[in-house]
Structure 1
Amino acid sequence: MTPAPRSSTPVPGGRSMLQFMRRHPAHLLAQGFGSGLSPIMPGTSGTLFGWASFVALTTAWPAWFSPLHWAWIIVAGFAVGTWACGKTGRDMGVSDHGSMVWDEIIAFWLVMLFVMPAGFGTQLGAFVLFRFFDMVKPPPIKYFDRHVKGGFGVMWDDIVAAFYTLLVIALWRAGAS
């Protein structure tokens, strides 16, 4: 995965990353509404955005952001993200550019869907586990990351990291009871 350049770094067409993101709705979405433009650990920034947005939306509008609605949002977000990340990757000339973090956002929303309701410590643990699996990429995540390309590939390896995260949490909860 290519690290995300600073927002002033030019991309194809001589634009800065910020100008590039604003050029098309797919770029805005794929780059996590700007969270992926962080010069330091953009994937972690995207995951933090996913965590904060999940908690904020669920707290502010619990009837609209119920578990069933979140499930539909995540499915739709995966489908739209496949298109947005594919287009953004093609426009950048890098299929899975580090600034594309919509995959982290959707995958962490999936983790939060199954973890919540939970206290801050459990949420933080889920965050750390997800970032671990997303960065280390144990098999088969690494296989998907290297061999499944395009928007689907960008999105899919993070869904597998979310599955690993949820598996570890389920095993921890089963052992704690």
Structure 2
Amino acid sequence: MDKVFMFIATGAYSGYLPKAPGTWGSAVGVFVWLLLYRLPLPTYLLGVAILFVLGVISAGAAEKIVDHGDPGLVVIDEIVGQLIALATIPFQPIPILLAFILFRIFDILKPFPVGWFDSHIHGGLGIMLDDVFAGLYALVILKFGLYFFGN
């Protein structure tokens, strides 16, 4: 079962890629989005919710397996956060790129409450929640930008 948890937690082992595993995980999130973006929104959100639950379980297990809190190789949180940042945006290169960049910025800078979740909630839930909020920040900023500057 450890192998299954690590496969999920590391985003199909993308978390083992050299340098910036979170960025690799976000790139996997974009790839997953390319497979899912045509789904009806309720189905898409259900898929993201299922990945979130799997992420909480597998990220928590991965912490125990590698005996390290919030290990960098765990990127399921970035995948879910990126899927949230990409939710409801048009299939166009600029919005996709902006969603990727904005999510990475919020994931790295951790404005409130992203940083609060990162430092106060531990285990799999804590690993996942900061990226959920980083994804929400990215989505809201991107949607406002598209509304005011065109899509």
TM-score normalised by the chain length of structure 1? 0.79
Aligned-residue sequence identity (percent) comes to: 29
> Residue 92 of structure 1 is aligned with which of 38, 43, 66?
66
The reply on whether 1:119 has 2:95 as its aligned counterpart is no
Q: 1: distance between equivalents of 2:142 and 2:133? A: 14
Structure 2 gaps of 5+ residues are none
SS at match of 1:107: helix
Q: 1: distance between equivalents of 2:146 and 2:97? A: 15
> Residue 102 of structure 2 is aligned with which of 129, 151, 158?
129
Q: 1: distance between equivalents of 2:6 and 2:43? A: 25
Does structure 2 conserve the Cα–Cα contact (< 8 Å) formed by 1:86 and 1:152?
yes
User: Aligned letter for 2:16?
Assistant: L
Q: Which structure has the greater CA radius of gyration? A: 1
How many residues align structurally? 150
User: Aligned letter for 2:94?
Assistant: G
Q: 2: distance between equivalents of 1:66 and 1:167? A: 20
Name the structure 2 match of 1:10: none
Q: 1: distance between equivalents of 2:85 and 2:32? A: 13
The reply on whether 1:35 has 2:14 as its aligned counterpart is yes
Q: Compute the displacement of 1:67 (Å).
A: 2.6
Q: Which whole-Å deviations, capped at 9, do the CAs of 1:7-34 have from their partners, x for residues lacking one? A: xxxxxxxxxxxxxxx9520111000001
RCO higher in structure (CA 8 A, sep ≥6) = 2
> Residue 174 of structure 1 is aligned with which of 141, 147, 150?
147
Structure 1 gaps of 5+ residues are 1-21
Q: 2: distance between equivalents of 1:79 and 1:23? A: 17
Does structure 2 conserve the Cα–Cα contact (< 8 Å) formed by 1:58 and 1:66?
no
SS at match of 1:32: coil
Does structure 2 conserve the Cα–Cα contact (< 8 Å) formed by 1:31 and 1:101?
yes
Moved over 3 A (4+): none
The reply on whether 1:140 has 2:113 as its aligned counterpart is yes
The reply on whether 1:58 has 2:31 as its aligned counterpart is no
Name the structure 2 match of 1:74: 48
SS at match of 1:97: coil
Q: Which whole-Å deviations, capped at 9, do the CAs of 1:86-143 have from their partners, x for residues lacking one? A: 011111111200000001101111222221x231111001100000000111122111
SS at match of 1:24: helix
1:25 to 1:114, Cα distance in 2 relative to 1, 3 A:
same
Does structure 2 conserve the Cα–Cα contact (< 8 Å) formed by 1:77 and 1:106?
yes
Does structure 2 conserve the Cα–Cα contact (< 8 Å) formed by 1:108 and 1:162?
yes
Q: 2: distance between equivalents of 1:58 and 1:160? A: 21
